[in-house]
Structure 1
Amino acid sequence: MELAPSAHEDTTTRGWLLDVAPAPDLVPETDHRRPLNAAGVLDDAVRGGAGRRCLVTDSGTWSHDDLLARANQVAGALVRRWGLRPGNRVLLHGPNTPWYAACYLGVLRAGGVVVPVPWGVRAREVAPIAELTEVDLVVADARYAADLAELAQRVDVLLFGAEPTEFGREVDAGPAVFAPVRTSADDVAVVDFTSGSTGAPKCAMHLHRDLVFAALNHHRMLDLAPDDLVASNGSIAFGYLLGALVLAPLTRGAAALFVEDDDFDAFFDAAHRHRATVFASTPGLYRRGLRTGAPVPPGLRIALSGGEKLDQGTRDGWLEATGAPLVDHLGTTELMAPVIGTPRGAAHRRDTLGRAMPGFRVRVLDDEGHEVPVGRPGRLAVRGASGCLYVKDPVAQAEGVRDGWTHTGDRATLDADGHVVVHGRGRDLVMVDGINVATTEVETVLRALPAVADVAVVGVPDACGVTALVAFVTPTGVDRGLVGLVREHARRELAQYKQPRVVRVLDRLPRNARNKVDHRALAEVARAAVGALSFSGSL
């Protein structure tokens, strides 16, 4: 992979960028190479009010000026001591802390390319990401040093944290002023990873302008103001939460609440104590909050959901319980910016995801790439302000981008007014007795049972090659005959071929590093469970 060393040299992304041009309503300039460093949103925030709160934690609060000063010190130390040059790739590892945010923005200000990984990624997963992206340097929370021991044999690993470190001392000793390196709008800023279908990571490049698009469209949905406090239990290593929790608040002079633990209960407690006004998370957090009656800040005005399909029942229940609307959106690792949703103040059509966000267009296509008639399901494709560009993966690139349109992997329906209904991803459709079953539909039905806190359904073949549905459920309280309750509920509400043949109770659903339900791990358990079935039995 060849990343842009400066704003004045060509990049391997040039042909792609000409095909996936920025949307004119977001980028009026026609010159994609105009100067732009996405970390400049921090300078804008400081000009709007340097002393306002910016990053809030249980340990203290950083102002916008504090974050700018620390990001400048990080950038200066990386350039001065470790020779960081524009285009160098820096792997960044750790939980949401002010230091993590300062290092993220500091790398960008120095013209580097951030390769962010969250706290959920383990040692065996870090190495292939670092190898694929050819990182030049690693900056990490000292608590994760053990996960980086092998990588430290090949590149410098710089640690930050509560205890003094060599990197921390160098940062502290540097000036709080650093002029951002002159990068262009189409220079690479971030390389984000996602799990491929084989389990090996795929990495997608994001440009400086992509980060600005993400901030703009998140703000369009949240309508942030300087007194807002945005809270999330997810990592800003992911594009969704980088945009919603950091970039969008910075563009409006708002603040972010950083919670290091992704535990749902810990998040609700922290958000309530600090009086958050905006939530940004995945559907699982909102379902957990509804089931447990978790405390919600009295001033909460809006909640954003993403990462997985949000069912209408959770949306309705959240609004009834909290008075704050729960809005959904579609944004992928490959595209970063929200591409489908409902801007604040716009009318939302019930049971839909929304419409194409400003800067994007959507299509629904058949397997041959032709547009399907309105109301007929097909494969979702999007095009606009940002596009998909994989690192060293021409096969995934060819499959993911066709004629300039990014194929998201979702099955969807488009109505006459442009509203999108997402039925699930390709893996969410399984064939049972010759009939397509959407596992998301089964999950929605089972989730309506009061005794069920959350559910995931997978389909695996039995010994005869017949697909068996396996439901994994977590209890609201004590597991008292939950398997029987789920079976009885399924018999009442679902056609026979949609009913799970196996029901297993778990304390909590396994989740991957992106905080999504780990269907691959569940499928392994499901195969073992189905293997124990008699020819016609159930467990």
Structure 2
Amino acid sequence: MMSVYDQKPWVHHYGTVPEEIDCQPVPLYDIIARWKNCDDRIAIVLEDKDVTYQALWNMVQRVAEGLRRLGVKPRDRVALILPNSLAFVQAYFATLLVGATVVALNPLYTLPELTKLLQDAEPTALIVPPEMVAKVPPTLLPLPWPVVMASANNDPKSEQEAKNVYPTASMLTQWLDLPPIEDDDVPAIDPQKDLALLQYTGGTTGWPKGAMLTHWNLLANAEQSRLWMANLLSPTQDTVLIALPLFHAYAMTVGMNLGLLIGARLVLMPRFNPEQAALWIARTKPTLFPGAPTMYVALTQYALAHDLDLTSIKGCISGSAPLPRSVQENFEKLTHGRIVEGYGLTEASPVTHCQPLWPVDYQAPGIGLPYPSTAVRIVDNMGKDVEPGEVGELIIQGPQVMQGYWRRPEETSEVLKEGWLYTGDLATMDQEGFFAIQDRKKDLIIYSGFNVYPREVEEVLYHHPAVKEACVVGVPDAYHGERVKAYIVPKAGVTPDLEDIDRFCQQNLASYKRPRSYQVVDQLPKSAIGKILRRELARQAAEDQGEIAHEQ
């Protein structure tokens, strides 16, 4: 008997969106190369100039030649520790052009965090902003990897100043004077097998693991996103405002890769703040603005206070956290466009579901419908399909699903079973094929769209000399979605200095991972076998008293 999931009831709501994607697997860098003969088509908008697709492709070829001369070979890894910038796009696609794999890392990570990931990825080279060199203690120089200085918008002066501190480093701006890489030096790519990206995620354990994503995984997800947004796309040229970080899989796919695929202009903000976003919106009139709920809240408030015109924005897929109905309604009222909630995970490149961006006769709250070419089921603990309306684990199959975790066969086997990706999220599907997330099996905390893994934060807390035990939970927060709270049991005879503990966390954790409040307790609730009952603490968190908050 055919399962309800095999019947794909969601397809009835697709409108003009095809059930399957019709796209040939090609190397991901083709999304730039295909526009190279459009002489005056703008690819990236900078503060002082515009970069055409023709110029961007030429830059990518020259940076690729620099990587080749540095010794980067096919299947090597190149770590990009860069903010949103022209340099990120150049380095990303140049890495792919030489057949290597991008490892995109957060430049806000502390040195211990970066070191842990770099030791796992074993990159052949690091591409970093010049200012990062100043953060590395001189005793640690030279680093065990070749370093390339890459200023945000190709400023040779800042790269040279950093090179004076670190003479063995290469300069990306000098590579732009090299000849483009020869066709004979560009390796053949198998888009369905060769890795384009090693994207680190904590998965269900909180220990960082590299999701292995091929050229085809990323291209397919960009094409799925294009089909989903087709009714909103401009017949001439769209402009995409990208304020989410490109080292995050969501911005990488729905911002950069989708934007380049459709030949759009990219407006890259290194960091989001509503005032700067308002300036870029007034200047560039973006039509697409993928973001997170906190961004839409802040921009709505700023627009109302400053009479900002947002009506150029036609479509937004909100990712990284649930989209409150009030946020959606207020933003749509200002833009007259559409903003809908999407869902995904790094292991799926990342998007798997989205609410319709076209008129539909039926609507339901939640994450919407599966993307084209995406098979979805909801199963019980035995792996059997559950009925519509019943809660089970969401599992996914499609061209965007990763190949596995880098050098983690056991963890891979736990989430990839018989071709299905087990998401760890509890969900329901109604009779019409609309999906909703009910809870996360993972204990992760989502702070402003960033995943915070409690175990990683607790590991830092356990290293503080005053801490005997610690447990981290998420506390509902009207602006950030959730904030991190730490419960601490001090060592015997010790009165913990919470300000000192907070400084310790600042030194060892990225800002968004740091607890915003701490509470000292005599003991943590535990099960009969001694397991800390995290969810009981989470339920109590809103009522707890005596906490010291460190709000930003």
Structure-to-structure mapping, 1:139-178, within 5 angstroms: 139-147=127-135, 150=140, 152-161=142-151, 162=155, 163=157, 164-165=159-160, 166-168=170-172, 170-176=174-180, 178=182
Match for 1:406: what amino acid?
L
Instruction: Give per-residue Cα distances to partners, 1:466-514, cap 9 Å, x unaligned.
Output: xxxxxxxxxxxxxxxxxxxxxxxxxxxxxxxxxxxxxxxxxxxx9x999
The alignment status of 1:257 with 2:267, answered yes or no, reads: yes
Structure-to-structure mapping, 1:64-463, within 5 angstroms: 64-79=53-68, 81-147=69-135, 150=140, 152-161=142-151, 162=155, 163=157, 164-165=159-160, 166-168=170-172, 170-176=174-180, 178-179=182-183, 180-185=186-191, 186-196=193-203, 199-223=206-230, 224-225=233-234, 226-293=236-303, 295-342=308-355, 344-345=357-358, 347=360, 349-388=363-402, 389-427=404-442, 443=476, 447=478, 453-456=479-482
Change (3 A) 1:354 1:197: closer
- Whole-Å Cα distance in 2 between the matches of residues 249 and 423 of structure 1? 31
Structure-to-structure mapping, 1:47-62, within 5 angstroms: 47=37, 49-62=38-51
Q: Is the 8 A contact 1:54 1:61 kept in 2?
A: yes
Q: Is the 8 A contact 2:237 2:265 kept in 1?
A: yes
User: SS in structure 2 opposite 1:371?
Assistant: coil
Instruction: Give per-residue Cα distances to partners, 1:253-275, cap 9 Å, x unaligned.
Output: 11110111233443343233322
Match for 2:430: what amino acid?
D
Q: Is the 8 A contact 1:118 1:513 kept in 2?
A: no
Change (3 A) 1:237 1:353: same
Change (3 A) 1:146 1:272: same
Q: Is the 8 A contact 1:220 1:343 kept in 2?
A: no
User: SS in structure 2 opposite 1:386?
Assistant: coil
Instruction: Give per-residue Cα distances to partners, 1:344-387, cap 9 Å, x unaligned.
Output: 43636231311110111111122232221110122111111122
User: SS in structure 2 opposite 1:329?
Assistant: strand
Q: Which runs of 5+ in 2 are unaligned?
A: 1-17, 161-169, 446-472, 490-505, 525-539, 547-552
Q: Is the 8 A contact 2:195 2:213 kept in 1?
A: yes
Change (3 A) 1:429 1:125: closer
- The Cα RMSD (Å) is 3.4
Q: Is the 8 A contact 2:288 2:315 kept in 1?
A: yes
Residue 490 of structure 1 aligns with which residue? none
Residue 521 of structure 1 aligns with which residue? 515
- Whole-Å Cα distance in 1 between the matches of residues 49 and 173 of structure 2? 21
User: SS in structure 2 opposite 1:279?
Assistant: coil
Change (3 A) 1:257 1:365: same
Change (3 A) 1:317 1:109: same
- Whole-Å Cα distance in 1 between the matches of residues 276 and 311 of structure 2? 17
Q: Is the 8 A contact 2:228 2:371 kept in 1?
A: no
Instruction: Give per-residue Cα distances to partners, 1:65-93, cap 9 Å, x unaligned.
Output: 121011000001111x2122111110011
Match for 1:175: what amino acid?
P
- Whole-Å Cα distance in 1 between the matches of residues 391 and 509 of structure 2? 30
Q: Is the 8 A contact 1:100 1:141 kept in 2?
A: no
Match for 2:252: what amino acid?
L
- Whole-Å Cα distance in 2 between the matches of residues 140 and 376 of structure 1? 48
Q: Is the 8 A contact 1:261 1:267 kept in 2?
A: no
Instruction: Give per-residue Cα distances to partners, 1:17-36, cap 9 Å, x unaligned.
Output: xxxxxx9933677xxxx7x3
Match for 2:425: what amino acid?
D
Q: Please state how far the C-alpha of 1:63 moved relative to its aligned partner.
A: 0.9
Match for 1:330: what amino acid?
Y
Change (3 A) 1:281 1:364: same
Q: Is the 8 A contact 2:218 2:253 kept in 1?
A: yes
- Whole-Å Cα distance in 2 between the matches of residues 126 and 387 of structure 1? 26
Change (3 A) 1:396 1:280: same
- Whole-Å Cα distance in 2 between the matches of residues 459 and 155 of structure 1? 36
Match for 1:355: what amino acid?
L
- Whole-Å Cα distance in 1 between the matches of residues 356 and 91 of structure 2? 31
Change (3 A) 1:84 1:458: closer
Q: Is the 8 A contact 1:283 1:308 kept in 2?
A: yes
- TM (norm. structure 2) is 0.72
Q: Please state how far the C-alpha of 1:188 moved relative to its aligned partner.
A: 0.8
- Whole-Å Cα distance in 2 between the matches of residues 231 and 28 of structure 1? 25
Instruction: Give per-residue Cα distances to partners, 1:273-318, cap 9 Å, x unaligned.
Output: 3221111111111122234446353311111211112222222222
- Whole-Å Cα distance in 1 between the matches of residues 282 and 268 of structure 2? 13
- Whole-Å Cα distance in 2 between the matches of residues 169 and 316 of structure 1? 45
Moved more, 454-463 or 252-261: 454-463
Q: Please state how far the C-alpha of 1:392 moved relative to its aligned partner.
A: 2.0
Q: Please state how far the C-alpha of 1:110 moved relative to its aligned partner.
A: 1.0
- Whole-Å Cα distance in 1 between the matches of residues 119 and 241 of structure 2? 33
The alignment status of 1:40 with 2:64, answered yes or no, reads: no
Instruction: Give per-residue Cα distances to partners, 1:396-422, cap 9 Å, x unaligned.
Output: 212222222112222211112221011
Identity fraction in percent: 20
Instruction: Give per-residue Cα distances to partners, 1:123-177, cap 9 Å, x unaligned.
Output: 2211111111111111122122245664842111111222244423541321245
Moved more, 366-375 or 190-199: 190-199
- Whole-Å Cα distance in 1 between the matches of residues 413 and 209 of structure 2? 14
- Whole-Å Cα distance in 1 between the matches of residues 443 and 324 of structure 2? 14
Residue 4 of structure 1 aligns with which residue? none
Change (3 A) 1:352 1:167: same
Moved more, 87-96 or 317-326: 317-326
Q: Is the 8 A contact 1:120 1:513 kept in 2?
A: no
Number of residue pairs matched by the alignment: 442
- Whole-Å Cα distance in 1 between the matches of residues 214 and 510 of structure 2? 21
- Whole-Å Cα distance in 2 between the matches of residues 370 and 151 of structure 1? 55
Moved more, 392-401 or 82-91: 392-401
User: SS in structure 1 opposite 2:289?
Assistant: strand
- Whole-Å Cα distance in 2 between the matches of residues 385 and 346 of structure 1? 27
- Whole-Å Cα distance in 2 between the matches of residues 406 and 133 of structure 1? 23
Q: Please state how far the C-alpha of 1:52 moved relative to its aligned partner.
A: 1.0
Residue 26 of structure 1 aligns with which residue? 21
Q: Is the 8 A contact 1:91 1:114 kept in 2?
A: yes
Q: Is the 8 A contact 1:45 1:252 kept in 2?
A: no
Match for 1:359: what amino acid?
S
